[in-house]
C-alpha cells in the first residue's frame, strides 16, 4: 500500500469520525507504526518536534531499536478502531547522568490541545521514574505556549533560555 495514501486516509478518519483511544508503552516491534506517525506529521508539527524544517527519514528512526529497556522509553496513543498512532512521547537517558532523560512529545494536529500530550507526558514520567530517572528535560522554541502549558500540568517545570529562540524545560519524573 502506498504510504502517502494511507496517511491521507488516516487524516480523513480523524477529522470525520470521533474515535476513542488508548495508550501503551511502545517497543522496537512498533517500528512501522512509529515511522508512519512521523511520515504523516504536518510541517508545523515536524518543525516543533525536530526544531527546524526537517522532514523525517530513515536516519531519524534508529532510536526505535533501543526501546527494549529503561534507557529509551516511548509511550504512544492509538485510535482503538484503526490502531493508528497519533501521539508519541519518548525519552532517552542521559549517558552522563542516569537520573536525567531527554524527552520529546508529538501529537498529530487534529488531536492537539485535547490534553493528550499531557497524558502521554505523565505516563512517560511514570515509566521513567520506575526506571530510576528522576528528571525529564526537553528543548523547544521559546514561544511554544503548548509545551509551557503541558509542563505546568505535568509538574513544577524549570525553564532555561539557551539562545536562538530556544528554551530547555525540565520537570520531575514521578
Q: How far is CA 107 from CA 76, 133, 171, in A?
A: 10, 23, 19
Predicted confidence at residue 38, as pLDDT, reads 86
CATH top class, domain 3-12+19-172: alpha beta
CA distance 74 to 19: 22
pLDDT along the chain (174 residues), means of 10: 32 46 93 89 82 72 87 93 91 96 90 86 92 94 88 87 92 81
Evaluate whether 67 touches 89 at the Cβ level (below 8 Å): no
How many C-beta atoms surround the C-beta of residue 9 within 10 A?
A: 12
pTM above 0.75, yes or no: yes
The H or E element that residue 164 is part of is: none
- Could you state, in order of their start, the residue ranges of all structural domains in the chain? 3-12+19-172
Which residues are CB-neighbours of 26 under 8 A, at least 6 positions away? 33, 34, 67, 74, 75, 76, 88, 90
Amino acid at each position: 500500500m502506498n504510504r502517502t495514501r494511507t496517511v491521507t486516509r488516516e487524516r480523513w478518519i480523524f477529522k470525520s469520525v470521533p474515535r476513542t483511544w488508548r495508550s501503551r508503552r511502545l517497543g522496537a516491534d512498533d517500528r512501522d507504526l512509529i515511522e508512519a506517525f512521523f511520515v504523516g506529521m504536518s510541517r508545523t508539527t515536524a518543525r516543533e518536534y525536530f526544531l527546524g524544517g526537517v522532514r523525517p527519514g530513515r536516519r531519524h528512526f534508529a532510536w526505535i531499536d533501543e526501546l527494549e529497556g529503561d534507557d529509551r522509553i516511548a509511550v504512544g496513543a492509538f485510535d482503538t478502531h484503526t490502531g493508528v498512532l497519533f501521539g508519541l512521547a519518548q525519552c532517552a537517558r542521559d549517558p552522563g547522568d542516569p537520573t536525567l532523560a531527554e524527552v520529546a512529545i508529538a501529537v498529530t494536529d487534529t488531536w492537539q490541545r485535547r490534553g493528550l500530550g499531557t497524558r502521554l507526558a505523565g505516563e512517560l514520567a511514570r515509566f521513567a521514574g520506575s526506571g530510576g530517572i528522576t528528571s525529564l528535560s526537553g528543548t523547544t522554541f521559546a514561544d511554544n505556549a503548548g509545551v509551557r502549558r503541558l509542563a505546568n500540568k505535568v509538574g513544577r517545570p524549570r525553564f532555561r533560555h539557551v539562545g536562538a529562540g530556544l528554551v530547555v524545560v525540565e520537570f520531575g519524573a514521578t
